[in-house]
Chains A and B, each alone.
Chain A
């Protein structure tokens, strides 16, 4: 039996250190060896018996169970259930004690376990230095960053409403309905957090929402589906997220076009260091769309032929990169030679320049008359009929947007003529469960960190000029992604 003990003094009151450590899933926010972590079965992360399932940055996976938690004695005890590391019977205890002399915290971290014969020393070092000592230093850094020494606690200083600016529409309509206005941002209620936003993503769905095509906003209100920023304060019952965390989201309800925002915490993802705020804001919705369209709605396989409409657009370009990464042959439609170059750079093997939706013959040529195995169509009215024609036998037509207007639904007879499948999926149904959300977002961040997915931000606008961003998008003047900067 190996016993590992490490201890340290943390220069913060015990209440502050315990608020972090009593949350069994907080390690993903502060410990540098954790790549991603989630509590299984949607249980609270301070529920005795809950299981955290996590991946280390070195690729190892572990499941650990919370065996005991005492707010009275500041003790948390847990064990490893399963691990890809050869450690057995690992039980660890974290205990905090108050240092009354100086209002600091004594942190004691101890475990016993078994390791393969001859490798005991290696594992004792791994646990003692790689996990415990690294954890002490990381928590010190985390506590410093989450509340700078020269600033009062945001949780206290911002207890009331904050004044800020946001884009507001008073009625559905054109881009000129997007008005820059002062707003009050309420403090977070139960399950909520308040964010200071640093970058906001612009998506075609924002145009639909503004125009009233999608019933996601009843004026007056603020559009916008995705943004990144910093957590200012958290409401009661929020776990896994702390003031000072960098986070991002892509979800309804709308309201992202704002400097500050109070929203539900369960749709937030804590950002890894490798993902900067602008990338996150530009990537969450489109990157997660690429993930669920290529991996969940249809599992694209090596050798498949994939047709992506608007292949140079924000979502299209990510679909091309990811599909290419999966080993597919990628055909794309674009509206200009310049966009054809952008699509090719994103991994599109065969960009087709087309203005009027006459791409069917070209797809037949490229595929030797077979057609595409799966088609991702977010154009809608102008392309859907052609897409069905360009589909291979037993192909899958995925309609995930309608930038040219609502298409007529395909006739069942047209589907049966090819044994074709037709899907009309919505991302938010696939991300509604926070565990799925974190898995999808984690896959996107991994792809970016490995350099396999690049988001090309070509347009940056001040948030106050959101109307100009919408006009450029509707006039098809944009290439790659657009972000608004508050």
Chain B
């Protein structure tokens, strides 16, 4: 089991950042790497247990299930059901915390998963930087 952690500071109040990311079907709106997304079975995107089925711009398809959604804690977590990444037992959490000094947002995103030992380093890099940090960067642009 390895853990990948990324965090950033976003120059906007936490509730406005949260409004973007609480939409489990909203990845195409605020990330640069998701082409299209739908919620399976016609469920609402904030229904815990729902599954998002999305296609990356590079063509890969990923299915993820919403495990936790808390408007009180500004936090959501999800697991990967299917992906081309070669990971098992993947659970990720995205959490926002208000920074009272300057009315900004501290954003954290971490994932725990299993993979082949020789791929740990590459996956940690591609998830931590390629996914989480890249998404933080586009989020910063979006709320500016």
Contacts and interface: CB of A to CB of B under 8 A. Distances in A.
Contact of A106 (B5, B7, B133): B7
Given A7-B106, A9-B106, A106-B106, A101 B101 contact: no
Contact of B101 (A6, A99, A104): A6
Given A97-B108, A101-B133, A7 B98 contact: yes
A136 B102 CA distance: 12
Contacts of B67: none
Interface string A82-106: 0000000000000001111110101
Contact of B97 (A98, A100, A106, A136): A106
Contact of B99 (A8, A98, A102): A8
Contacts of B106: 7, 9, 97, 99, 106
Given A99-B106, A106-B99, A9 B7 contact: no
Interface in B24-63: none
Contact of A9 (B6, B9, B133): B9
A8 B100 contact: yes
B100 A100 contact: no
Contact of B6 (A6, A7, A8, A101): A101
A7 B133 contact: no
A70 interface: no
Q: Classify chain A: how many residues form its interface, as a range.
A: 10 to 19
A7 B108 contact: no
A263 B133 CA distance: 47
A99 B133 CA distance: 11
A101 B128 CA distance: 11
A145 interface: no
A100 B133 contact: yes
B9 A7 contact: no
Contacts of B133: 100-101
A97 B99 contact: no
B22 interface: no
A5 interface: yes
Contacts of B98: 7
A101 B100 contact: no
Given A97-B7, A98-B7, A100-B5, A9 B102 contact: yes
Contact of A7 (B8, B101, B136): B101
Interface in B59-118: 97-102, 104, 106, 108
A97 B128 CA distance: 16
A179 interface: no
Nearest to B9: A9
B22 to A, nearest CB: 21
A387 to B, nearest CB: 62
Contact of A101 (B97, B102, B104, B136): B136
A304 interface: no
Which of A7, A98, A133 has the most B CB atoms < 10 Å from its CB? A7
B96 to A, nearest CB: 11
A99 to B, nearest CB: 5
A19 to B, nearest CB: 20
Contacts of A7: 97-101, 106
B8 A101 contact: yes
A172 interface: no
Which of B97, B98, B106 has the most A CB atoms < 10 Å from its CB? B106
Contacts of B6: 100-101
A63 interface: no
B9 A108 contact: no
Nearest to B128: A100
Nearest to A98: B7
A473 B99 CA distance: 60
A101 B99 contact: no
Which of B9, B128, B136 has the most A CB atoms < 10 Å from its CB? B9
Nearest to B109: A100
Nearest to A8: B101
Contacts of B100: 5-8, 133
Contacts of A133: 100-101
B9 A101 contact: yes
A370 to B, nearest CB: 65
A9 B108 CA distance: 14
A7 B7 CA distance: 15
Given A9-B104, A9-B106, A99 B99 contact: no
Interface string A243-280: 00000000000000000000000000000000000000
A172 to B, nearest CB: 60
B32 to A, nearest CB: 16
Nearest to A109: B100
A108 B108 CA distance: 14
A98 B110 CA distance: 12
Contacts of B97: 7, 106, 108
Q: Which 7 A-B pairs have the closest CB atoms?
A: A8-B101, A101-B8, A106-B106, A6-B100, A7-B99, A100-B6, A99-B7
18 contacts: A6-B100, A7-B99, A7-B101, A8-B101, A9-B9, A9-B101, A9-B102, A9-B106, A97-B7, A99-B7, A99-B9, A100-B5, A100-B128, A101-B8, A101-B133, A101-B136, A106-B7, A108-B97
